[in-house]
């Protein structure tokens, strides 16, 4: 479990990092928190010729909140996102979800943007980005800056729209509009494990308490995180079972050693009903 | 008089050092040594058609590549069968490096030595081995079917077959003529010891001295020494084996010699340079050892009170690809299954089967968790059948204190009769009943149900043979500084021996625990030992330390009596507070360290202290050998039997099927307790592992024999968050078999955990749990099957 030889670069500026990526393109990998990349290197599952370490790019170590939403720089750790009270107040789902990412020590190193680029179908933050209709800012020498919407960002399991010569600069999590409640819940085998099924929901209500928009996002339920819009479901009596049933029917999970596909779908049903209810109750008049 | 130290919950002496990071583990040693890495089989069963190293040869830093063909003499022969047994009719052990055939994923095929481990892995990656696949045998069903064979000359994949009966009549007849009968099919899955520190070996050859020094992260340095000497054809006297700090063993490191324990020293001798190998996690998963996997078929006959009249158990034990450690695990299962109960006529039959998977050797509990699972599931099934209380059924079958010593009529794993020396099982069950709140539970259940919550209570009891022979020894020496040095051949892996053995020695010698230094696992300091396993260290070494220290105390009294003169005889003296003093007149005393000086009559003085021992100053000699030191051995006549009972309350989510432990209680009897804090820690660690075995840990092989969860991401060891608060209560029924009255405590916590958790889940859910571990997904499947059965019945 030792990595193969690799050339290390430690750029001090974003410009330099982008230039190095342009130069080494397909042979280089960005090293952020290393919580996913380093194990893969050690197990020789990946063998890039070069590592471009972005840990000195202090200019990207931010979590900023404005009226629109929360901007998370590429060097912000999961723990920074978790602790930022302003971010929680604007977009509560960020903290609700990031608390369930791994364990504190891993959150201290792992970056939220790194998690998005890594695009593990079981990771929480991609689903959060998707549920909130967020986006990712990318930069390369070749294409300059471009913004990719969440819906286009998660291409496949462990595959995002971030090209080999691109540096992800920032993720943008828009503040939910109107009177919107959100909730995150999941069931994992052990505390902090990747979930067997994870559900994030957002429910918007009008002043009478009627649901005007309801969505659920899922992890661990397919090759990429997915969102199901359940706005049209029957919510009468604040009962979310029909919506949950409908959502779970859209999912096509797989068996693995921790849970059968059927159990996963069952979990999706149970957790979605609980989650929609909690999201609804957070804002219901 | 000093307060006795034995029995006090002293803080562990070793912890400050270990917690500050001052421990020295195998990988902390041997800076600058060459590194070894291995090419291991990626397939479960194959013939090796060729090994091509061409691409690897120009890697800078490569030192040597070895295959089986390169190995000389006895190194090229199969590894030893450590524990032969007449029932083990087809023993097969592995080679150090595969000899033409591989039998499990992870089997070592090629050894690489390079300037460091990184380079060694670069080389290993470039070596091409061509495999001709053979059909793999995976799992007990396929092994039993016997259509595919692991070893062509082991028909039916049977390594061993054994039948034992307890001499109380024919079990099948007893069952057939019993008023009530039940049959159960049970299944326990594979798990593994999984110490945080894997194995590791460092070897240094001194060509001037012709001495080989081996450091190994082992549970038995003395036996590794003999094995290495035999394999490398060196006089044992030229081999030293030292065990540095060890980051956990749990059984896997009692197996020896591992291929690496032979190959690394051989490479060091061959190359004339230090060589080190440190196992990584993936290697540990696929090339160390696993345990637990068994299927069992139980038939039981009983009366209306739930009293057992006959019990017949058939066990199919998956022993993996080889059996270097013999059939200890199924023997332990077959015998310890009986627990604290009288079972009437008993027959147990086991078949130990080869599969193309990693070898199976004892892991903490060593077959007992499986046996207890069988027995306790049977108890619960009887209670369910009769509609009586589960504890009442157990109570109806208990061996009573006045029946001790109780002969179970079987032969135990040490080859001696299975005779329980002491125990009070009715009190034990009464204590667990109170501790876990058995009697008030229906009210608790109702209150939970009113909140829409589902809870259940379960129990599991066991008896554990501990402290088996053949022997352990100790050397105790009082230095002229007053420091007491206790050397044992025993190794230590975190059990607190530096403290508990010091307590024993300090009591005998009348010194403080701080005055005693304990040395373990270093054959330069003590050569004769067996090893640390099977909950035996405190019983065997503890008593040996007491015996050796007792000899030292006698010698100290003789020397002191001579020094004090005045007609004082040794019998008048006692050892207290670092002094040897006259019982009748404590002011008449001499420091123990001065006695140490006097114990070594000198011709030459080199300071004030030693002057006292020179010929014109010294008191008259006592005829003793020089040095205030002695060696003592304790050789138990047979095992001593500890016991315990666990009670657990679980909550199962009616919707998600998530399983949570709400309460975990332990009643524990390990005879006289040397250090209650250490015992409690051992119990906690054991329970944590038991919870792993009940709810989380399983080694998963696919049909091709690939180990699919060979990492800590997917092999789920419980975190602190999964282990509940554990309430323990101790009871003491001293062992009459050894001078200190001790019984072992190392494995206890893990033994009945699966049984107790299964019992609680059954109680919460009203369905039968026949297979462990159990995950929420599996509980969900059980509920569905139960639902389907109910619908069928009502239809
Ligand atoms: C034991 C354990 C448990 C975990 N459990 C969870 C969990 O429950 N949920 C969860 O979501 N995650 C979990 N993780 C993963 C963790 O969240 C990682 O931190 C995250 O997936 C990746 O972030 P990182 O900063 O560590 O990225 P790295 O490991 O450094 O990189 C990951 C990948 O992203 C690329 N990359 C990173 N940053 C950029 C960038 N700015 N621009 C372009 N490419 C980039 C890298 O090249 C690499 O391919 C766990 C990790 C461990 C070790």
pLDDT in tens, A36-62: 999 999 999 999 999 999 999 999 999
The architecture that CATH gives domain B137-192+289-399 is 2-Layer Sandwich (3.30)
Instruction: Say which residues have a Cβ less than 8 Å from residue A201's Cβ, sequence separation at least 6.
Output: A131, A182, A183, A184, A214, A215, A216, A217, A272, A275, A276, A278, A279
* Percent over 90 (pLDDT), chain A: 96
Domain with CATH 3.30.43.10 in chain A: 7-53
Worst-scoring range by mean pLDDT, A25-29, A56-60, A128-132, B324-328?
A25-29
Ligand 1 atom closest to the CA of A60, numbered from 1: 41
State in Å: Cα A75 to ligand 1 middle: 12
Chain B residues with beta carbon closer than 8 angstroms to that of A4 = 121-122, 125
Over pLDDT 70: what percentage of chain A? 100
Residue B436 tokens, joined: 């876990």
How is residue B522 annotated by DSSP? B
| Banded pLDDT at B620 (limits 50, 70, 90) | low
Q: Which fold has domain B469-634?
A: Aldehyde Oxidoreductase; domain 4 (3.30.365)
Q: Do domains B19-134+193-287 and B422-464+640-795 have the same CATH topology?
A: no
Q: Is B564 helix (H, G, I), strand (E, B) or coil?
A: helix
**pLDDT of B32 strictly over 80:** yes
Question: Dihedrals φ, ψ of B600, to 5°?
Answer: -120, 85
Q: Write the pLDDT tens digit of every residue in B356-408.
A: 999 999 999 999 999 999 999 999 999 999 999 999 999 999 999 999 999 99
Band the pLDDT of B622: cuts 50, 70, 90.
confident
Asked if pLDDT for residue B1 goes beyond 50, the answer is no
What class does CATH assign to B422-464+640-795? alpha beta
Mutate to test the interface with A, among B126, B281, B777, B787 (most CBs of A within 10 A): B777
**Chain B residue whose CA is closest to A264:** B777
Protein residue with least CA distance to atom 39, ligand 1: A114
- For residue B244, give the nearest of B215, B223, B219 by alpha carbon: B215
Q: B577: alpha, beta or left, given left = phi > 0 and alpha = psi -120 to 50? A: left
| Whether the CB of A30 sits within 6 Å of ligand 1 | yes
Burial code (b: 16+ CB inside 10 Å, e: under 16) for B54-64 equals eebeebeebbb
In 3D space, the residue among B299, B349, B292, B338 whose CA is nearest the CA of residue B319 turns out to be B292
- Cα–Cα distance between B549 and B786 in angstroms, integer? 62
- Of the candidates B111, B105, B41, B102, the one whose C-alpha atom is nearest the C-alpha of residue B71 is B111
The CATH code that applies to domain A58-174 is 3.30.465.10
Which of B382, B397, B389 shows the shortest CA–CA distance to B344? Answer: B397
- Separation in Å, CA B44 to CA B48, B95, B132, B150: 12, 16, 11, 10
Spatial separation of the C-alpha atoms in residues B139 and B407, rounded to whole Å: 35
Contacts of B658 in chain A (CB under 8 A): 187
Query: Who among B122, B722, B777 is closest to A259 (CB)?
Result: B777
Cα angle B193, B719, B218; round to 5: 25
> A50-53 and A28-31: which strand pairing?
parallel
Q: State whether A5 and B122 contact (CB < 8 Å).
A: yes
pLDDT at B615 exceeding the cut of 80: no
The residue-averaged pLDDT of B334-346 equals 97
- Residue B636: per-residue pLDDT: 95
Tell me the nearest-neighbour CA distance from A258 into chain B, angstroms.
Answer: 7
Burial of B69 (0-12, 13-18, 19+ CB in 10 A): exposed
Topology of the domain covering B19-134+193-287: Aldehyde Oxidoreductase; domain 3 (3.90.1170)
Give the pLDDT mean for B765-783.
97
Task: Test A259 with B775 for CB contact under 8 angstroms.
Answer: yes
Which tokens sit at B300? Answer: 């039981």
Residue-wise pLDDT for B714-755, tens only, equals: 999 999 999 999 999 999 999 999 999 999 999 999 999 999
Report percent pLDDT > 70 for chain B. Answer: 99
**Cβ(A131) – ligand 1 distance below 6 Å:** no
Burial of B584 (0-12, 13-18, 19+ CB in 10 A): exposed
> Residue B268, SS3?
helix
Average pLDDT over residues B693-712: 97
The ranges of chain A annotated as CATH 3.30.390.50 are 180-283
Atom of ligand 1 nearest to the CA of A126: 11
CB atoms within 10 A of CB B486: 29
Beta strand pairing status for A69-73 and A167-174?
A: antiparallel
Of B660, B692, B703, B41, nearest to B355 by C-alpha is B703
Q: What is the pLDDT of residue B795?
A: 78
Ligand 1 lined by A35 (C-beta under 6 Å): yes
Residue in B709, B713, B715, B719 to alter for ligand 1 test, most ligand atoms within 8 A of Cβ? B713
Instruction: Give B478's contacts (C-beta < 8 A, 6+ positions apart).
Output: B484, B509, B552, B556, B592, B593, B595, B596, B599, B628, B629
User: pLDDT by residue (tens digit) across A93-138?
Assistant: 999 999 999 999 999 999 999 999 999 999 999 999 999 999 999 9
* CA B31 to centroid of chain Cα atoms: 31
Instruction: Tell the residue nearest (CA) to atom 31 of ligand 1.
Output: A37
Is residue B336 over pLDDT 90? Answer: yes
Neighbours of B473 (CB within 10 A): 25
Average pLDDT over residues B513-539: 94
* Residue A44 Cα, gap to closest chain B Cα (Å): 10
Average pLDDT over residues B256-273: 98
> How high is the mean pLDDT of chain B?
96
B783 touches chain A (CB under 8 A): no
Which residues of chain B lie closer than 8 angstroms to A257, CB-CB? 698, 700, 708-709, 714
Does residue A74 contact residue A59 with C-beta atoms inside 8 Å?
A: no
CATH class of A7-53: alpha beta
Q: Flag whether residue B696 sits within 8 Å of chain A, measured between CB atoms.
A: yes
CB contact under 8 A, A5 and B118: yes
Structure tokens of B541? Answer: 């070494």
Q: In what order do the strands lie in the sheet with B516-519?
A: B516-519, B484-488, B472-478, B629-634
Q: Over 90: is that where the pLDDT of B602 sits?
A: no
Domain spans of chain B, in order of start = 19-134+193-287, 137-192+289-399, 422-464+640-795, 469-634
- pLDDT higher than 80, residue B612: no
Which of A46, A190, A196 would best serve as a mutation to test chain B binding (most B beta carbons within 10 A)?
A190
The band of B3, judged by pLDDT with boundaries at 50, 70 and 90, is confident
State the average pLDDT for chain A: 96
Q: What confidence score (pLDDT) does residue B678 get?
A: 96
Helix, strand, or coil (residue B508): helix
C-alpha A189/C-alpha A122 separation (Å) is 13
Q: Does B708 touch chain A (CB under 8 A)?
A: yes
Cβ–Cβ under 8 Å, residues B636 and B740: no
CATH number for domain A180-283, candidates 3.40.50.1360, 3.30.390.50, 3.20.10.10, 3.30.420.40:
3.30.390.50
Return residues 268-287 of B near A (CB < 8 Å). 280-282
Per-residue model confidence as pLDDT tens digits over B461-475 = 999 999 999 999 999
Chain B CA closest to residue A1: B280
Ligand 1 pocket, A29 CB below 6 A?
yes
Any A CB within 8 A of B52 CB: no
């Amino acid at each position: 479990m030792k990595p193969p030889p690799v050339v290390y670069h430690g750029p001090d500026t974003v410009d330099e990092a982008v230039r190095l990526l342009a130069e080494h393109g397909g042979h280089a990998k960005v090293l952020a928190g290393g919580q996913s990349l380093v194990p893969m290197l050690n197990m020789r599952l990946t063998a890039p010729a070069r590592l471009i370490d972005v840990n000195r790019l202090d200019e990207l170590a931010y979590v900023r909140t404005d009226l629109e939403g929360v901007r998370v720089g590429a060097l912000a750790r999961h723990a920074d996102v978790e602790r930022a009270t302003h971010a929680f107040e604007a977009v509560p789902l960020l903290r609700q979800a990031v608390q369930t990412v791994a364990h504190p020590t891993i959150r201290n190193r792992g970056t939220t943007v790194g998690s998005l680029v890594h695009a593990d179908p079981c990771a929480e933050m991609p689903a959060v980005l998707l549920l909130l209709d967020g986006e990712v800012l990318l930069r390369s020498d070749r294409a300059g800056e471009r913004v990719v919407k969440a819906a286009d960002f998660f291409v496949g399991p462990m595959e995002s729209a971030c090209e080999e010569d691109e540096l992800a600069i920032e993720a943008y999590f828009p503040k939910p509009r109107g009177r919107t409640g959100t909730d995150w819940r999941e069931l994992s085998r052990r505390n902090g494990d990747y979930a067997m099924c994870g559900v994030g929901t957002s429910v918007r209500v009008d002043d009478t308490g009627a649901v005007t928009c309801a969505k659920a996002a899922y992890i661990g339920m397919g090759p990429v995180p997915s969102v199901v819009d359940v706005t049209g479901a029957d919510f009468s009596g604040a009962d979310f079972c029909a919506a949950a049933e409908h959502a779970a029917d859209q999912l096509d999970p797989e068996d693995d050693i921790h849970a059968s596909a059927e159990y996963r779908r069952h979990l999706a049903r149970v957790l979605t009903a609980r989650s929609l209810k909690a999201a609804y109750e957070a804002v219901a008049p | 008089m000093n307060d006795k130290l034995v029995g006090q919950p002293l803080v562990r002496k070793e912890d400050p050092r270990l917690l500050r990071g001052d421990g020295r583990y195998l990988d902390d040693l041997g800076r600058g040594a060459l590194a070894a890495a291995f090419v291991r089989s990626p397939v479960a069963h194959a013939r090796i058609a060729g090994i091509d190293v061409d691409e690897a040869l120009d890697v800078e830093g490569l030192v040597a590549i070895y295959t089986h063909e390169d190995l000389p003499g006895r190194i090229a022969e199969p590894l030893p069968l450590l524990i032969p047994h007449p029932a083990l009719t087809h023993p097969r052990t592995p080679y150090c490096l595969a000899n033409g055939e591989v039998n499990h994923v992870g089997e070592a095929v090629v050894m690489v030595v390079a300037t460091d481990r990184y380079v060694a892995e670069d080389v290993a990656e470039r070596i091409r081995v061509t495999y001709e696949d053979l059909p793999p045998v995976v799992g007990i069903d396929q092994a039993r079917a016997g259509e595919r064979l692991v070893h062509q000359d082991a028909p039916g994949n049977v390594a061993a077959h054994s039948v034992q009966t307890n001499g109380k009549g024919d079990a099948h007849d007893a069952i057939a003529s019993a008023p009530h009968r039940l049959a159960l099919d049970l299944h326990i899955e594979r798990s593994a010891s999984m110490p945080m520190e894997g194995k590791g070996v460092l070897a240094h050859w001194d060509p001037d001295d012709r001495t080989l020094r081996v450091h190994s992260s082992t549970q038995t340095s003395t036996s590794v020494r003999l094995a290495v000497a035999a394999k490398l054809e060196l006089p044992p006297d030229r081999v030293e084996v030292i065990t540095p700090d060890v980051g956990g063993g749990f059984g896997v490191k009692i197996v020896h010699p591992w291929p690496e324990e032979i190959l690394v020293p051989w490479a060091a001798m061959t190359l004339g340079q230090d060589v080190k190998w440190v196992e990584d996690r993936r290697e540990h998963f696929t090339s160390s050892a696993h345990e637990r996997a068994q299927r069992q078929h139980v038939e039981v006959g009983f009366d209306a009170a739930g009293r057992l009249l006959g019990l017949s158990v058939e066990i199919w034990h998956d022993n993996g690809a080889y059996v270097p450690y013999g059939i200890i695990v199924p023997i332990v299962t077959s015998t310890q299954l009986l627990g604290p109960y009288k079972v009437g006529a008993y027959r147990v039959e086991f078949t130990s089967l080869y599969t193309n998977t990693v070898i199976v050797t004892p892991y903490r509990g060593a077959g007992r968790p499986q046996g207890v699972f069988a027995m306790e599931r049977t108890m619960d099934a009887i209670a369910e059948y009769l509609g009586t209380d589960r504890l009442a059924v157990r109570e109806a079958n208990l061996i009573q204190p006045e029946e001790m010593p109780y002969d179970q009529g079987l032969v135990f794993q040490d080859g001696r009769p299975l005779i329980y020396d002491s125990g009070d099982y009715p009190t034990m069950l009464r204590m667990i009943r109170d501790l876990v709140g058995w009697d008030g539970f229906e009210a608790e259940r109702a209150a939970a149900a009113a909140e829409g919550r589902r809870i259940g209570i379960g129990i599991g009891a066991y008896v554990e043979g501990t402290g088996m022979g053949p022997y352990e020894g100790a050397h105790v020496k009082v230095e002229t500084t007053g420091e007491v040095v206790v050397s044992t051949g025993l190794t230590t892996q975190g059990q607190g021996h530096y403290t508990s053995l010091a307590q024993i020695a300090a009591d005998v010698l009348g010194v403080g625990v701080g005055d005693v230094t304990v040395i373990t696992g270093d054959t330069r300091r003590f050569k004769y030992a067996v090893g640390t396993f099977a909950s035996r260290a405190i019983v065997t070494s503890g008593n040996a330390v007491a015996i050796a220290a007792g000899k030292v105390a006698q010698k100290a009294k003789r020397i002191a009596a001579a020094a004090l003169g005045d007609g004082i005889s040794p019998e008048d003296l006692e050892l207290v507070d670092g002094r040897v003093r006259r019982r009748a007149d404590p002011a008449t005393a001499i420091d123990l360290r001065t006695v140490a000086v006097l114990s070594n009559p000198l011709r030459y003085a080199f300071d004030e202290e030693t002057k006292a021992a020179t010929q014109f100053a010294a008191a008259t000699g006592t005829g003793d050998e020089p040095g205030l030191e002695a060696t003592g051995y304790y050789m138990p006549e047979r095992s001593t039997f500890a016991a315990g009972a666990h009670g657990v309350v679980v909550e199962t989510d009616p919707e998600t099927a998530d399983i949570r432990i709400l309460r975990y209680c332990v009643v524990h009897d390990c005879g006289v307790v040397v250090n209650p804090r250490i015992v409690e820690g051992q119990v906690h660690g054991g329970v944590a592992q038991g919870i792993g075995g009940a709810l989380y840990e399983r080694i998963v092989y696919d049909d091709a024999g690939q180990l699919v969860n060979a990492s800590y991401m997917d092999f789920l060891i419980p975190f602190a968050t999964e282990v509940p608060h554990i309430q323990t209560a101790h009871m003491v029924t001293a062992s009459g078999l050894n001078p200190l009255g001790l019984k072992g405590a190392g494995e206890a916590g893990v033994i009945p955990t699966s049984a107790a958790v299964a019992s609680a889940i059954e109680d919460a859910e009203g369905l039968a749990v026949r297979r462990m571990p159990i995950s929420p997904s599996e509980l969900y499947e059980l509920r569905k099957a139960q639902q389907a059965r109910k619908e069928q019945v009502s239809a």
